[in-house]
Amino acid sequence: MKLLLINPSQEKVYGCDMPPLYHPLGLLYVGTMAQEAGHLVRLVDIDSEKMDESGFTKLLSAFQPDAVGLTATTPTLGNAVKWATLVKHLCPSVPIILGGIHATTAPEAVSALPCFDFAAIGEGERTLLLWLDCIASDSKIFNEVAGLAYRQDGRFIRTLPRPLEPAIDTFPVPDRKLLKFPLSFAPANAVHMPVATIMTSRGCPGDCTFCCTKHLFTRKVRLRSVDNILSEIDMLVRDFGVREIHIADDTFTANRKRVMEFCEQVRARHYDVHFEFMNGIRADFVDDPMLKALRSIQVRNVGFGVESGNEEVLRLAKKGISMDKVRKAFSLAKANGFETWGFFIIGLPGDNSKRVRETVRFAKELDPDFAKFYILKPYPGSEAYAWLQERGLIDCTDYDAYGIYSPPVHHLPEMDVREMERLLKWAYRTYYLNPRKILQHLLRLRSFTQFRLMVRNGLFVLKNLFRKKKV
């Protein structure tokens, strides 16, 4: 069978026409396994291929797919609907399935959209292969495929949950030849091109109320073996000349023994490769020997999700990390020569103007090289979304507005939308626009690349200082 996979544009996530480009790992895993099962696969990455409707229509006409799969987060759902609707118009008999976190947390709502025939719930690799088998057979007994949701005779049907794959080493290394790689892929803060994205584990032990990961991969962390990871890195370096790898794990440092073994093996191979962590690392999962090991394999920076400088807000968010642990993590990171990043959220349940000011004071105390302040986006499926919805505090259900840098979509009992926007601008202004911080960044410049990154992050700060108010 011919399978067309579509990664919709991420413009709504980042609020720009040219968002940072990461490998669509979910679709790569699905596509690689479908290839190995004998299917012909075409993966379209809308952003990296700069695909428009005219080009997509020609591609669809030439490829003539038997089945189509898309992935979507909450803010990319609208773009997924756009491309699925076009497929449905041009190829009305071709079945279309949506996977990813939004399909997992809201399968009934997805199934109600006329452009999608199916939703894949949870881990999608095995589900998609069995779905393709059903399409190819005469029986089409979809109710026997675990992890599916669909409409039948006007009824919503959800099959049994799909068990997680216990050993993720059994998944093949994603075939980057499905992408136009290494051209066009440039993640945020990339320094050494070409850059690749990999995932070395699935799941996160955290229980944060603002996160939906536990619905997709659960709180159990499943690890790839170090040998399995290195086989992928060997391929990326050998076949594509990769010089920087961004690790997409939710919690790379969850298993200390594996981290230390990984660093030891990377050093032994003498890769000319730098490593970055896309999602940062937890402040309670690092110690001095681990940070020294990470520094030894050319990890340039570490970021910690601090979220708040108020212990009550952290308790309500179920962060599970005290402010003292955060202080210690930043101190160790700086002592080991890392560039440090701190990530902070405004508008969590329990937040108010006073507590946001405490968060900014805490940020200044920690003094990361870069602090990023965000207004909470309560994604459907998260505990924060349920908490806000129960209290009538969700102001917007247009998921196009749920991008990282979009205006607030909710308010709080002690903080309205205008106050959140005002405090976000104040946070950036008070943190960055002072002589000491500006001088600190200028004194750290050692290369044009560092200057370029400083300019890029400076533009990010200015964007938040002058962002448009919600209308």
* Fold designation for 2-158: Rossmann fold (3.40.50)
Confidence of residue 435 (pLDDT cuts 50, 70, 90): confident
Indicate if the pLDDT at residue 471 is higher than 50.
no
Indicate if the pLDDT at residue 468 is higher than 70.
no
Confidence of residue 335 (pLDDT cuts 50, 70, 90): very high
Measure the CA–CA gap between 93 and 171, rounded to whole angstroms: 31
How do 222-223 and 96-99 pair as beta strands?
A: unpaired
Superfamily of the domain at 187-465: tm_1862 like domain (3.80.30.20)
Side-chain half-sphere exposure of 62, counting CA atoms within 13 A: 7
Pick left, alpha or beta for residue 298 (phi over 0 → left; psi -120 to 50 → alpha; otherwise beta).
left
The mean per-residue pLDDT over the stretch 129-141 comes to: 91
Within the chain, all domains assigned CATH 3.40.50.280 are found at 2-158
What pLDDT, on a 0 to 100 scale, did the predictor assign at position 191? 80
DSSP state of 254: G
- Return mean pLDDT, the chain: 92
pLDDT digits over 84-115, tens only? 999 999 999 999 999 999 999 999 999 999 99
The strand pairing partners of 339, in sequence order, are: 301
Measure the CA–CA gap between 99 and 115, rounded to whole angstroms: 13
What pLDDT, on a 0 to 100 scale, did the predictor assign at position 54? 98
Measure the CA–CA gap between 386 and 384, rounded to whole angstroms: 5
pLDDT digits over 236-259, tens only? 999 999 999 999 999 999 999 999
Indicate if the pLDDT at residue 462 is higher than 70.
no
Indicate if the pLDDT at residue 180 is higher than 90.
no
The mean per-residue pLDDT over the stretch 341-368 comes to: 98
The angle formed by the CA atoms of residues 76, 58 and 22, to the nearest 5 degrees, is 35
What pLDDT, on a 0 to 100 scale, did the predictor assign at position 18? 56
CB-CB contact of 207 with 320 (8 Å): yes
The residue whose two tokens read 């930043």 is: 330
Share of the chain above pLDDT 70, in %: 91
What pLDDT, on a 0 to 100 scale, did the predictor assign at position 429? 93
Confidence of residue 442 (pLDDT cuts 50, 70, 90): confident
Indicate if the pLDDT at residue 316 is higher than 60.
yes
Confidence of residue 470 (pLDDT cuts 50, 70, 90): very low
Within the chain, all domains assigned CATH 3.80.30.20 are found at 187-465
pTM: 0.93
